[in-house]
Amino acid sequence: MRIISGKYKGKHIQPPRNFRARPTTDFARVALFNILANYFDFEEISVLDLFAGTGVIGYEFASRGCHNLTSVENHPVHAAFIRRMIRELSFEGFRLMERDVFSFLEHHQTKYDVIFCDPPYDMEGIGNLPDIILQHGLLNKEGILVVEHSGDISFAGHPGFFDERRYGKVHFSFFRVPE
């Protein structure tokens, strides 16, 4: 796993062997960030990374100049790894919240320009995540919510849905705040 672009381009990130997260593939990340670069100047946005896992999505945003980034991860081994990488790479404005995503959503009020959500593919209730996230009002009016998921799920009927992209087994569904 490596950082694709920015200040730390090419930096390899090696999680511990006991790591249970499924990182977003390099191939899918390149495509995702190319899409997001058409909408945002990464140095000017606020980002929320839910179910952060390895933290690689956050590292990619930070490497590209994002200084307002929050990652939420409740698994202690994963959170410790993210914390270590934030320290090692001296990322500024990169906050880690070591807590349950749903508890975080319930009690957090800051708005974000990009919310990236990568739950475990086998988690129950993935189909409800866009509603849960959007109902808490954390996405700015012009912001984008990206949910990474398997091909077993389709969000095409959701009122905020506007696009889906597939990269191998990785699917990204894109949402805006419904009118």
- Per-residue pLDDT tens for 102-151? 999 999 999 999 999 999 988 998 999 999 999 999 999 999 999 999 99
Which residues span the domain enclosing 45?
35-123+134-175
Query: What whole-number distance in Å separates Cα of residue 174 and Cα of residue 147?
Result: 7
Sign of the C-alpha dihedral, residues 73, 42, 32, 128?
positive
The verdict on residue 24 lying in a domain is no
Give the chain's domain count: 1
Domain-located, residue 95: yes
* Domain contains 151: yes
User: In the β-sheet with 170-175, what is the strand arrangement from edge to edge?
Assistant: 94-97, 68-72, 46-50, 112-117, 139-149, 170-175, 161-167
The answer to whether residue 29 is domain-embedded is no
Q: What is the CATH number of the domain that holds 40?
A: 3.40.50.150
Query: Does any domain span residue 9?
Result: no
Taking alpha carbons only, the member of 150, 163, 75 closest to residue 118 is 150
Q: Does 22 fall in a domain?
A: no
Q: Each residue of 156-168: pLDDT tens digit?
A: 999 999 999 999 9
- 20-43 pLDDT tens trace: 777 888 999 999 999 999 999 999
Classify residue 20: in a domain, yes or no. Answer: no
25 in a domain, yes or no?
no
Question: Which pLDDT tens digit goes with each residue over 53-92?
Answer: 999 999 999 999 999 999 999 999 999 999 999 999 999 8
